[in-house]
Amino acid sequence: MKDWRTPNYIAIEGPIGVGKSSLTLKLANHFGAETIMEHVEENPFLAGFYKDRRQFAFQAQMFFLLSRNKQLAEANQVSLFKQKVVADYMLEKDRIFALINLDSEEFKLYNQMYEVLLSRLAKPDLVIFLSADTETLVRRIAKRGRNFEAGMAEKYIEEVNEAYHRWFFHYDAGPSLQVNTSGIDFVENEEDFIKLLEKISRPVKGREFFNPLGSM
């Protein structure tokens, strides 16, 4: 029987600024797990995209699709999933942004490649979807101070946030847990982190929701 107290492969997902990378590192440290961390800043089209979405959308999206797939496929090849793994993204996130940013003809071309690549990747044992209201996301993005995010419009952040929620409500490839993070801090507050550990130590069946009373 699978040991649900320590799922072998956990993926953390959620909109820009919600805290995916920070939670990934903390969970990996707790479980003694390998990490798969996305390196967003390596996309050479991203700065241009935030200044002119229409001009740079397709280039930025294709770069992300190929680089994300390469990283996840390499993890498969070296059998990392025989160990414990925590990832701060899934390939599915790429399609969320593609739906927002690409026109219909670009998306048709993109989606053909996406479907092929997705079919070759392992599925997480558990997806943790971090959610927050748009105001909280804007504040967290400003706090971390990434130069290429400086020109990001609040309207775009809200659009991404709404798209992620639509995606979560349709995700059925495995167990998934939505966690409302607007009033909690898993990284700085140990009590908040313990609450999450207690929740994921029990089997998550289908799509579940977790709205803890936070410390903030």
Structure token digits, residue 122: 């392992």
Clarify whether 88 is annotated catalytic: yes
Question: Is the domain 9-210 a CATH 3.40.50.300 member?
Answer: yes
- Identify the active-site residue in 3, 52, 88, 192: 88
pLDDT in tens, 88-113: 999 999 999 999 999 999 999 999 99
Name the DSSP class of 11: E
User: How is the chain split into domains, by residue range?
Assistant: 9-210
* pLDDT digits 0-9 by tens, 122-153: 889 899 999 999 999 998 888 877 776 666 78
Q: Which residues of the chain register pLDDT less than 70?
A: 1-6, 76-82, 148-151, 213-216
Residue 156 · residue 40 · CB < 8 Å: no
- The Cβ of residue 203 has, within 10 Å, a number of other Cβ atoms equal to 12
Pairing state of beta strands 9-13 and 85-87? parallel
CB 43 within 8 A of CB 95: no
